[in-house]
């Protein structure tokens, strides 16, 4: 299980802490990598910038992606990710505050596997995290090509 990494792309430090706490609360033991903006996320995934030294054979099992990010937005990240052979099959769950229809539609069009709204209620947030974690980490088999 340890090599199954969860990449959380989240710029808000409050949300970051709450996310980590939610994952912990749900007894998900996977390693969690945090990227604080779109650039950082892409650097991690493609081994560029400050992740130039990274072993690219290890890819995250699940990406939890916020949409509203500094520098490069979540949707751009998703687009790049899906257009690259190495990353195009990684399950991406968009977790965002926005309920705008256009965001939902765009996310799915760009190949998001799921779209979850960040609830204000923390309990609901934990529940949402638990469900996406369980589903994508346990139920979904990553294609063997990876």
Query: Given the rule CB under 8 A, which residues bind another protein?
Result: 12, 14-15, 17-18, 21, 67-68, 96-101, 118-123, 125
CA distance 120 to 103: 19
The residue count of the chain comes to 146
Q: Which is nearer to another protein, 49 or 119 (CB)?
A: 119
Q: In the 8-state DSSP scheme, what is residue 119?
A: -
Q: Which is nearer to another protein, 60 or 74 (CB)?
A: 74
Q: Which is nearer to another protein, 60 or 106 (CB)?
A: 106
Integer CA distances (angstroms), 135 to 47, 73, 93, 107, 132, in order: 27, 25, 11, 19, 5
CA angle 129, 134, 135 (to 5 degrees): 105
Least separation in angstroms between residue 64's CB and another protein is 15
Q: Which is nearer to another protein, 90 or 93 (CB)?
A: 93
Least separation in angstroms between residue 68's CB and another protein is 5
Least separation in angstroms between residue 89's CB and another protein is 28
Least separation in angstroms between residue 128's CB and another protein is 11
């Amino acid at each position: 299980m340890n090599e199954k990494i969860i990449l959380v792309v989240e710029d808000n430090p409050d949300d970051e802490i709450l996310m980590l706490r939610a994952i912990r609360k749900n007894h998900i033991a996977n390693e969690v990598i945090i990227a604080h903006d779109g650039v950082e996320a892409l650097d991690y995934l493609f081994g560029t910038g400050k992740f130039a030294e990274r072993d690219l054979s290890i890819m995250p099992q699940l990406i939890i992606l916020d949409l509203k990010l500094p520098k490069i937005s979540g949707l751009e990240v998703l687009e790049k990710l899906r257009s690259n052979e190495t990353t195009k099959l990684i399950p991406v769950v968009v977790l965002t505050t926005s309920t705008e229809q256009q965001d939902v539609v765009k996310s799915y069009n760009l190949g998001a596997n799921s779209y979850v709204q960040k609830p204000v209620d923390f309990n609901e947030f934990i529940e949402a995290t638990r469900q996406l974690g369980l589903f994508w980490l346990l139920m979904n088999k990553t294609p063997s090509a990876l």
